[in-house]
Amino acid sequence: MKANLVQAINMALNQEMSKDKSVILLGEDIGIDGGVFRVTEGLYQKYKDRVFDTPLAESGIVGTSIGLALNGLKPVAEIQFEGFIMPALDQLISHASRIRNRSRGAFSVPIVIRSPIGGGIHALEHHSDSPETYFVHTPGLKVVIPSRPYDAKGLLISAIRDPDPVIFFEPKKIYRAFKEEVPEKEYTIPLGKANIIQEGDDLTIITYGSWVRETLKAVEGLKYSIEIIDLRTLKPLDVKTIIDSVSRTGRCVIVHEAPKTLGLAAEIIAIINEKALLSLQAPIERVTGYDTIVPLPKLEDYYMPNTERIKKSIEKVMNF
C-alpha cells in the first residue's frame, strides 16, 4: 500500500504487536489520542492492555522501560519531542546502555525509544532539535534515523527485535511529506547497513533522515556523477559502504542538520582519514546546522542546511 512515514511506522508497530505479545507501547498521549503526530493511532483501541498513556515524565518513561525489559517485555516508548528527551538522558546513558556490560550479560535492555527529530516545521523552542550525537557517542546504544516510509517500517521492526537499546529518531519534517509503496507483508532492514540511493563516480554525498530528500533535490540537473549514501543507522555506522564509495569517488560532502562541532560528519571525516585519506582528491565538505540554538520560525531557515548550501559545497569539492 502507499504509505507515508507515519503510516509505515504505525504498520510496523501494529505488526510487531500482533506477532509478539511481549511488545508494549508507552508514552505521553500515545493511547486514545494516538500520539501528537498520530503515529500510534488506533493501536490503543486494538491492544488496550498493551498501550499505556504515562504520566508526563520522560525519565520515568525510559526508566520504567528499562525495568519492563529486565522482566521480559519489549517496550517501545515514545518521547513526544526530541527536545524533551533530555530528562531521560540519565536513564539512557547511566543505565540502558550499561546494564548488559555491568552484569556481564546476565541482564539486557531490549528497548526502543522512538522520538521525532529535527526542524523544518516552524514549531516552538525544543521542538526542532537534532541531538543524535549524544546517543551516537554513548557506547551501548544504537541509533537509527530513517529517510523514507519503506525503510522506516523495516528498520523499526529490526529495532524492536534487537537485543539492545535502540534510539529510533523519526524526521518529523517528512512525517507526511510523501508516500511510497510499503509492502503490507512483514520485512526487516538490518541495522547498521547504509543504502546507496543513487550511484555515481565523481562525488559521494553522505547524509541521513530528511536530508536525503533535500540532497536529491540539490543534485538534480547537476552535470556530475554523484553517489548518495543514506546512512539509515548512525550507530553502528556502515563504515564499509562509506569507505568503498569514497575510495572510488575521491570526493565527499556530508550533510546533516545537527550542529557542526562533533556532529556525525566529524566522525565520518575521521574515519575517512584513517581508511581512505590517500584516495581523496579534495578536502571533505560539511553542510550542517550552525553551532547555535535552533532558531524560532522567523530565523529557522537560516540555520538549516539547504539545497543552495549543498550545491555550493559540491562545486567547491569538484573544483578544488
Partner 1 sequence: MPKKIIQNFNIEFLSILDENGKADSKLMPKLSNNDIKLMYELMKKTRIFDEKALKLQREGRLGTYASSLGQEAAQIGSAYALDKEDFIFPSFREQGVYLLRGMPIDQYLAYWRGDERGMYSTKKVNMFTVTIPVGTHMLHAAGFGWASKIKKESRVVVTYFGDGATSEGDFHEAMNFASVFEIPLIFICQNNQYAISVPVSKQTKSATIAQKAIAYGMYGIKVDGNDVFAMYKSTKEAVERAKKGKPTLIEAFTYRRNDHTTSDDAKKYRNDKELKQWDKKDPIERLKKYMITKKLWTKEYEEELDRKFNDEMDEAIKKMESIEDPKKEDILNYVYAELDENLKEQKEELK
Residue closer to partner 1, measured from CB, 174 or 242 = 242
Scanning 3-11, 70-78, 153-161, 168-176 for contacts with partner 1 by CB under 8 A, the matching segment is 70-78
Of these, 90, 180, 184, 291, which contacts partner 1 (CB under 8 A)? 90
The DSSP code sequence of 51-102 is EEEPPS-HHHHHHHHHHHHHTT-EEEEE-S-GGG-GGGHHIIIIIITTHHHH
Per-residue mark of binding to partner 1, 236-275 (x: CB under 8 A):
xx-xx-----------------------------------
Do 53 and 32 touch, CB atoms closer than 8 A? yes
Burial of 12 (0-12, 13-18, 19+ CB in 10 A): buried
The alpha carbon of 107 is separated from its chain's Cα centroid by a whole number of angstroms, namely 26
200 lines the binding site for partner 1 (CB under 8 A): no
Which residues in the 24-63 window bind partner 1 by CB under 8 A?
A: 24, 49-50, 52, 54-55, 57, 59-60, 63
State the Cα–Cα distance between residues 262 and 244, nearest whole angstrom.
23
State the Cα–Cα distance between residues 187 and 171, nearest whole angstrom.
21
Per-residue mark of binding to partner 1, 281-320 (x: CB under 8 A):
----------------------------------------
Do 137 and 237 touch, CB atoms closer than 8 A? no
Query: Catalytic annotation on 127?
Result: yes
Instruction: Return the closest-CA partner of residue 95 out of 145, 138, 144, 158.
Output: 138
Burial of 320 (0-12, 13-18, 19+ CB in 10 A): exposed
CB of residue 142 to partner 1, shortest distance in Å: 8
Do 119 and 303 touch, CB atoms closer than 8 A? yes
Per-residue mark of binding to partner 1, 118-147 (x: CB under 8 A):
---------------------xx-x-----
Residue closer to partner 1, measured from CB, 89 or 197 = 89
Site of interaction with partner 1 (CB under 8 A)? 24, 49-50, 52, 54-55, 57, 59-60, 63-73, 75, 87, 90-91, 94-95, 99-108, 139-140, 142, 163-164, 192, 236-237, 239-240
Catalytically active residues are 127
